[in-house]
Structure 1
Amino acid sequence: MTLSTSHRPPLADEITTKLREMIHSGEWPLQQRIPSETELMAGLGVSRGTLREAIKALAHSGMLEVRRGDGTYVRATSEISGAARRLYQDHTDEHILEVRVGLDTQAARLAARHATADDVAAMRALLAEREDAWHAADYARWARADWGFHERVAQASGNPLLHELYVSFGDVFHNDLLKQQRRSGFNGLPHEGHGELVDAVEAHDGDAAVASVHRNLNSCAEWLRE
């Protein structure tokens, strides 16, 4: 008689999968603290040890960050984004910008091909938010809106892998914006790579969209060289 072998994965793996799905779905947003251990243990019906093993696995992948005495925060929406965030720490701003050139230009070209009217409306709304925040001197909100705009262009590309890679730039991009904002004479509302880009996307003009991105990133490169 042959004994059947259970192929059910270990409980910790099941819980890791459930937590990953909560993050990927947006139920737990980026940069936000996840529920406490007590809440999660009760909601998932697992022991503290099993829960901690799952959280440790996602922290190792870069999706979660455990802050002693403060809680656990969402750092990335997938393992690929988490790995990319760790890699960026080991490279210069110039190297990161060079990679962004490739992603931004391809996102712009594809968005010009695939963006819907809703995508264009969302981009314009984010630019309006960016302008309002800049004039109100709310620079954290300005940076969030600026990043949100670029992320929406990547989403409109219709390529989910490109979008996921682009999202991984979030922290780096946001911090660079705030550094630039502190420079005397910095223009926080450039039309290149923003208003021009939306116009090109709406007109389905891929070449104009790419040209606008190049003008914007060239100005970023000049800032890095100063």
Structure 2
Amino acid sequence: MPLATTRRAGLVDQVIEQLRDAVRQGEWRIGTRIPTEPELVATLGVGRNTVREAVRALSHSGLLEVRQGDGTYVRATSEVSGAIRRLCGTELREALQVRRMLEVEGARLAATARTEEELARLRELHDQRDAAQREARFDDFVHADAEFHLAVVRCGHNALLTELYRGLTEVVTASVAATANEKLGPAERIEHHGILNAIADRDPARAAVEAAEFLDELLAGLDS
């Protein structure tokens, strides 16, 4: 990934911003190792200490993860997401509980505020999700399912709720992957027709119930 040579003033801040942009724009994806320190020094035209300080700052914010003796990896797509991941930790129950709080209200708002164009997009994502589930395409299913839930929240037209949920993207994706059986057999399928139909019918109470029920099922499954 080509990075622009920095100016001499405010080098650390400039490097931080360029590394952040590389993650935000998808040049470096979640879980991938970023270029080594010498490679970044050569590409950016700055000193080793400048790169080291920038990486340390992004590591503290949760965007990057430094693995001693292995390299530096992308941990989240934004500082908000990194903070939420630290709060939730790796505990699946906590992730599902946070999802429930945000998604129930998101579905309620979506049933009231969604547009016809947004409803069409929800149906498209829902079809993609179901097709991937039917055909046992696990990675595609996880991606489509997470996208569907984000689209539901966006339909509520609450910018703050959407931003909070976007910060939860990695947690949502990880929880989808953790709760979906890789074989995606009929017994493991979780349907979202109820949520979609309630939003289409502009029924906020039913949409909230549908959003809560499937997450409650997943939470209950952790105890079985």
TM-score by length of 2: 0.77
Relative to structure 1, is the Cα distance of residues 30 and 118 closer, same or farther in structure 2, using a 3 angstrom cutoff?
Answer: farther
Structure 1 position 65, deviation (Å): 2.5
C-alpha distance in 2 between matches for 1:30 and 1:62: 12
* Residue number in structure 2 paired with 1:136: 135
Structure 1 position 54, deviation (Å): 0.9
**Is 1:181 matched with 2:180?**
yes
How much identity, in percent, do the aligned residues show? 39
* Residue number in structure 2 paired with 1:51: 51
Q: 1:16-165 counterparts in 2 under 5 A?
A: 16-26=16-26, 28-34=28-34, 37=37, 40-41=40-41, 44-67=44-67, 72-89=72-89, 92-165=91-164
Q: How many residues align?
A: 216
C-alpha distance in 2 between matches for 1:119 and 1:100: 21
**Is 1:167 matched with 2:204?**
no
C-alpha distance in 1 between matches for 2:120 and 2:38: 42
Relative to structure 1, is the Cα distance of residues 47 and 222 closer, same or farther in structure 2, using a 3 angstrom cutoff?
Answer: same
C-alpha distance in 2 between matches for 1:51 and 1:97: 36
C-alpha distance in 2 between matches for 1:58 and 1:177: 26
TM-score by length of 1: 0.76
C-alpha distance in 2 between matches for 1:99 and 1:174: 13
Partner SS, residue 147 of structure 2: helix
Q: Residue type matched to 1:116 in 2? A: T
Q: Is the 8 A contact 1:131 1:189 kept in 2?
A: no
Structure 1 position 60, deviation (Å): 1.5
Q: Residue type matched to 2:49 in 1? A: G
List gaps (5 residues or longer) in structure 2. Answer: 1-7
Q: Residue type matched to 1:115 in 2? A: R
List gaps (5 residues or longer) in structure 1. Answer: 1-7
C-alpha distance in 1 between matches for 2:159 and 2:70: 33
Structure 1 position 97, deviation (Å): 2.7
**Cα deviation digits, residues 4-50 of structure 1 (max 9, x gap):** xxxx9732123213332443455544445545556644554423331
